[in-house]
Amino acid sequence: MSKKLSPPVAIFLSFRFMLLLAASILLLSVIFLSLLRLSVTHKQDTDLEESISLISETIRLKGRDDLAFLELPYYITYAVWERESGTLLATNDSLLPHLESEGKSRTYFEKDFFTDGDLNIRYRTARLDFGEALTDNSLIVECAIDIANDSAAKMSRALPRLILISLIPILILSFALSYLISRSTIKAFKKLQEDYDREKAFTSNVSHELKTPISIIDGHANLLKRWGKDDPKQLAESIDAILHETENMNSIVTTLLDMSRIENGKLKIEKTKFFVTNFFAKLKDEFKITHPDCKISISDPDFLEIESDEQKLHQIFTVILSNSLKFAGRDCRITLSARKVGGKIELSASDNGPGFSEEVRPHVFERFYKGDKSHDRNVSGAGLGLSIAKTLVLALGGEIRAENASGGGACILLSL
């Protein structure tokens, strides 16, 4: 039985993916916000520099009186004052403090500057000398932007909170998706691992199955070569053993060839009409020759006629009966039955063996699966028979299932 996926593994992988995604989003957000703030700051500095140049040029060419008619961006405040005396000469905001930045853009913050809030500005100043050397009587031109009320600055400050808020549903969704993906991936990996393990077991089983008859044939051949050919009794026993083991090897090779044909899509279906009772009788006669101790009974009260590929159906029931013989033992009792169920005909083979355990039954038609892990010759096989039988049944347009018979033992049912 395949093991269930351990939820902690998928949860652990999903959690790691979520953390990696969160770290990636945060890193990208930091880079984005940094670039955004640099862009906002650069725009503010450009506006301050251009405003100072415009004010300075106006004073030089037209005098301070024309500053009242100067068109500046609505968000720019300015002040012009004498550096030594601090006398304010012109301004559009009387509350703007007199600051000096020596030609550079700076940020100034003063808590509770206003009765209803703080002062938070980015400003820039320049001295006007009118072509003369700078003196203490130089004029100072100051321009400022209220950062607290600047829309671009507000956006750059609000974005981190928005990113963190939006990050929560993104992480929850990523965790859920990665959990589903992890479960599917691990399940697929487990299936591949199980298939690989079964193929390894298959190789081991086939090697064992071939090694045993080869060893027996080799032993009897050497025995006959040395002295057995002169002993009629030993000669007959060795020939029988060689023929029996050759039959075993042929069965294994035939099974492998059937598997190859099915996988390559070279299986041909040739349907004919025949009576089920006659079909069952032929099977019974064949198995009676090789297994005289096995008792096979037939139940077909309606003497049903079926249209199907008789050769493929024969191959299917050969696999089923061989399995019954393996597990039910020498005193095997098999009942072959046929009945009409709705518009279909149901064929079944039940035996008096141990039946299927609840652990084994869901997997009896899986390739390479063997319910019995031992290498006992009585329950040998590579675990391919019922898998091939199922493929053949599906090719015939039918269904196959495994059950436990009401009186005990295994029961394989075909619906055609």
Overall CATH class of domain 7-166: alpha beta
For residue 1, the SS3 value is coil
How far is residue 279's CA from residue 337's CA, in Å, rounded to a whole number?
11
Tokens of 110: 């003063």
Confirm if 352 and 328 have CB atoms less than 8 A apart: yes
In this model, does residue 190 exceed pLDDT 70?
yes
Q: Locate CATH 3.30.565.10 in the chain.
A: 267-415
Question: What CA–CA distances, in Å, run from 237 to 216, 226, 231, 246?
Answer: 12, 15, 10, 14
How far is residue 192's CA from residue 206's CA, in Å, rounded to a whole number?
21
| pLDDT tens digits along 256-270 | 676 666 666 667 888
Per CATH, the homologous superfamily of domain 267-415 is Histidine kinase-like ATPase, C-terminal domain (3.30.565.10)
pLDDT at residue number 2: 41
For the segment 377-387, the average pLDDT, to the nearest whole number, is: 59
> Sign of dihedral through CA atoms 165, 169, 174, 176?
positive
Q: Locate CATH 3.30.450 in the chain.
A: 7-166
pLDDT band at 4 (very low <50, low <70, confident <90, very high): very low
pLDDT band at 301 (very low <50, low <70, confident <90, very high): very high
